[in-house]
Amino acid sequence: MHRVGSAGNTSGSNRPRKEKRLTYVLNASDDTKHSAGVNCLAVLKSNGSCRSEHLFTGSRDGTLKRWAIDEEAGQAATCSATFESHVDWVNDAVLVGDHTLVSCSSDTALKTWNCMSNGVCTKTLRQHSDYVTCLAAAGKNSNIVSSGGLGGEVFVWDIEAALAPVSKSNDGTEEEASNGISGGASNLPITSLRTINSSNSLHSTPNHGYIPTAAKGHKESVYALAMNDSGTILVSGGTEKVVRVWDPRSGSKTMKLRGHTDNVRALLLDSTGRYCLSGSSDSMIRLWDLGQQRCVHSYAVHTDSVWALASTASFSHVYSGGRDQSLYLTDLSNRESILLCSEDYPILQLALDDESIWVASTDSSVHRWPAEGHNPQKMFQRGGSFLAGNLSFSRARASLEGSTPIPVYREPTLKVPGVPAIVQHEILNNRRHVLTKDTSGSVKLWEITRGTVIEDYGEVSFDEKKKELFEMVSIPAWFTVDTRLGSLSIHLDTPQCFSAEMYSADLQIAGKPEDDKVNLARETLKGLLAHWLAKRKQRLGSQSSANGEVQSVKDISARSMTHSRIEVDGSAENDSMIYPPFEFSAVYPPSIITEGSQGGVWRKKITDLDGTEDEKDLP
C-alpha cells in the first residue's frame, strides 16, 4: 500500500506544458465483452414488441455497451454497440427521454450518447472537478439529470438545454440563460463557473453556454443520488453519513436525514418522492418518510456494506445487494427477507425488470436472475425467509452463529459474458514484455510493442513466473503501465519515452542492417498510427506528394525530436515501414487516449482513427 499524490483525472492539466502523454490501451478481446467490473446498468424496454429489450452497461474498462436481449433467440445477449470515449471508470449511467444515454466517469466528465446509435458520443459535459460517482434521472418524460461526485459536488442538468447547439451569444447572455434555470439566489452558477476556472485551466468554456445548477451543501464526497419521477425532489448521500434532500429545480437544501453510521452508497426514491430507501456501508437499509422527516424503519439484512438497491414501483419490496455478494428481497412492511442468490463477486448495481433482475458486480460479466417484478410476494411462498432485525451488523453476528440462509436460485437465467480483468502486472526488464495476472488466475505475457499476448501460461504462480522470466538487462524505462481499466494501459510521456533503443538484430528485424538502432517508442507509435497515417494520406488525396507519407512520419519524428535529444540518422527519417515487432493487431486493436490541442482528452480505437484527428495531438 502506498500513497501516490496525483490528480484524479487523466487530463494532464497538472503536467508542465512541454510534456505530452499518449496512452494506448491493449484490449484483450474484441468489442463484444467488457474487460473490467460493471459499475452500472440501465434497462430500455422497447415500445413495440414486449419481448425484446436492451440492456446498457457501464464498466470500469471505461466503456458502455448496449446489449440486445432477445428472449426468443435462445436467451442470449448480443453486444450491439460500444460507447467508447471516457478515459476512466464509467461509474453510472441513466436513460433520459426517448433516446439519450447519459454516463458519468472518474474522468470527471458526463457524456451523452444516442442510445440506439453505434456508439458516438454526442456531448461531453465538464463541470465536476473530481470523480463523478453517480447520476439520477427524473421520470420518463423529464430531461432532468443530477450528477454527484467526490468533493461533495452535486449538479442538476437540463439535458435538453445542455445538448442544444451552441448559441453565438456572449457570456452575458449565457449567464442570464442559466440564471433562469437556477432561480435560487444562493446557488449561482457563476460561482460554480469561477470554481472551475480557478482549479483547472482546461475548463474555461466547459459546456459552450449551458451551466448546470449547483446543489451546494455537501461537505464531503457524494456516492449516491436519487430523484423522483417529476424531478421535484433530489436525495444525495455519501461519506457524511447523512441523507440530504434538495429541490433540484433551485439547488436549495430541504432537509437532512440522520441515522446511518457509515457511508451512504445507494439511494432510491419512490415515484412521489415521499419515501426514500437508503443502503449504507453500515450494512443497513433504511426507509425514510420525507413528509415526517425521519427514518421509519431500518432493516438488518446484509452482513456487509449495502451498495445497490432496486425496488418495485409501489415501494413495497426492495432488492438489495452489496459487499457480501448476496442479493436479498425484503418486504418493507413485515420485514421478511429472503436470500435470492449468492454471486461470486460483490454486487455493485441492480436493475429491476418485469420478470427479472439484472445484477452487475466487480466481475466483468452481468447476470440476470428471476424476479417477480409485479408480484414479489410470490417469492416468500417458497419459505426460507427470515425477519430482518434493526441493529447494524446483527445479521453478521447471526451468520457467525450458523444461521446462513439458503439462496432461492443457484443459477442465473442469463449471463452476459465478460473478459477477466487484469489485477496484477509486472514490467519485465527487457522493457517490451509485461507479465499479467487476471481475475481468473490466468497468467499471461504481453509484448507491448505489438500489443498482443505472446504467452498464456494458464493458472500458474505469478511470482514464480516473474522469477523465471527474470533477465539481467538494463533498458531505460520508456513507458509506464497501469491496469486501472482492467487492461494494460501503456503511457508514453515525452520526452523520456524516446530514451530506449535496441539494435535491429536483437529485435530480429529482417532486411535491416543488424547494427541499426531502433527507437522503441518511435517504432511503437508508428505501428499504432499506421492506420491513421494511411487514412490521412487518403484524405489529403491530391495534396500528398511522393514525399507525403514520408513527410508525415518526418513531421511526427521531427516534432518528437524537438522534445527529445535523440539523434535519428538520415535513413531512419525516410522510413515509414512498420516492422513486425511493432505490428499491432487489427483484430483486437488497442485504443489511444491522448490530450487534444483544444483541451480535453479523447479516446479512440486505432482502427477508428479516420485521419481527421489533429496531428498536433500526437507526440
Partner 1 sequence: MGAAGSKLEKALGDHFPEGERYFGLENFGNTCYCNSVLQALYFCVPFREKLLEYYEKNKNPVDPEENLLTCLADLFTQISSQKKKTGVIAPKRFVQRVRKENELFRGYMHQDAHEFLNFLLNELVDILEKESSATKDSSENSSSEKVANGPRNGLANGVQKEPLVTWVHKNFQGILTNETKCLRCETVTARDETFFDLSLDIEQNSSITSCLKNFSSTETLNAEDKFFCDKCCSLQEAQKRMKIKKPPHILVIHLKRFKYIENLGRYKKLSYRVVFPLELKLTNTMEDADSEYSLFAVVVHVGTGPNHGHYVSLVKSHNHWLFFDDENVDIIDESAVQTFFGSAQEYSSNSEHGYILFYERLTSETS
The phi, psi pair for 467, rounded to 5°, reads: -65, -40
Question: Of residues 151, 184, 548, 600, which one binds partner 1 by CB under 8 A?
Answer: 151
Q: Does the protein bind partner 1 through residue 168 (CB under 8 A)?
A: no
Name the segment binding partner 1 (CB under 8 A); options: 164-172, 200-208, 382-390, 476-484: 476-484
* Per CB under 8 A, 241 contacts partner 1: no
To partner 1, the closest distance from the beta carbon of 5 in angstroms equals 5
**Nearest-CA neighbor of 148 among 59, 230, 237?**
237
Please say whether the dihedral angle defined by the alpha carbons of residues 231, 104, 221 and 161, taken in this order, is positive or negative. negative
150 near partner 1, judged by CB under 8 A: yes
6-14, 111-119, 187-195, 330-338 -> range binding partner 1 (CB under 8 A): 6-14
The yes or no reply on residue 462 touching partner 1 (CB under 8 A) is no
Residue 399: name the closest of 318, 260, 302, 330 by CA.
302
- Strand partners for 104: 92, 110
Q: Which residue has the cell 499504432?
A: 528
608 binds partner 1 (CB under 8 A): no
Verify binding: residue 263, partner 1, rule CB under 8 A: yes
Does 4 help bind partner 1 (rule: CB under 8 A)?
A: yes
Closest separation in Å from C-beta 596 to partner 1? 23
- DSSP string covering 46-114, please? -SS-SSEEEEEEEETTSEEEEEEEESTTTSEEEEEEEEE--SS-EEEEEEETTTEEEEEETTSEEEEEE
Rounded CA separation 43/66 (Å): 10
CA end-to-end span of the chain: 33
Check residue 423 for interaction with partner 1 (CB under 8 A): yes
Stretch that binds partner 1, among 172-180, 215-223, 225-233, 393-401 (CB under 8 A): 215-223
Binding of residue 325 to partner 1 (CB under 8 A): no
357 neighbors 368 (Cβ within 8 angstroms): yes
Nearer to partner 1, 133 or 178 (CB): 133
Asked if 198 is part of the footprint of partner 1 (rule: CB under 8 A), the reply reads: no
Q: At what angle do helices 189-199 and 171-182 cross, to 10 degrees?
A: 120
Per-position x/- string for 333-372, each x denoting binding to partner 1 as judged by CB under 8 A, each - no binding: -------------x---------------x----------
Using CA atoms, how far apart are residues 619 and 615, in angstroms rounded to an integer?
A: 9
Sign of CA dihedral 576, 582, 586, 588: negative
Nearest to 457 by CA among 358, 466, 448, 449: 466
Cα 542 from Cα 544, distance rounded (Å)? 5
**Nearest partner of 590 among 56, 35, 9, 7, judged by Cα:** 35
127 binds partner 1 (CB under 8 A): no
The binder of partner 1 chosen from 8, 12, 217, 373 (CB under 8 A): 8
Q: Which three cell numbers stand for residue 265?
A: 452508497
Q: Which is nearer to partner 1, 318 or 481 (CB)?
A: 481
Q: Is 239 in the site for partner 1 (CB under 8 A)?
A: yes
Residues of span 290-319 touching partner 1 by CB under 8 A: 305
Residue recorded with cell 457563476: 190
Q: Does 223 bind partner 1 (CB under 8 A)?
A: yes
Report the residue from 57, 281, 311, 349 that binds partner 1 according to the rule CB under 8 A: 281
- Among the listed ranges 95-103, 111-119, 219-227, 456-464, the one in contact with partner 1 (CB under 8 A) is 219-227
7 binds partner 1 (CB under 8 A): yes
- Note whether 426 binds partner 1 by CB under 8 A: no
- Would you give the distance in Å from CA 130 to the centre of its chain? 14
If the CB atoms of residues 14 and 333 are measured against partner 1, the closer one turns out to be 14
Neighbouring CB atoms inside 10 A of 369's CB total 21
Which positions touch partner 1 (CB under 8 A)? 1-8, 88-89, 106, 130, 150-151, 220-221, 223, 239, 263, 281, 305, 323, 346, 362, 422-423, 482-484, 486
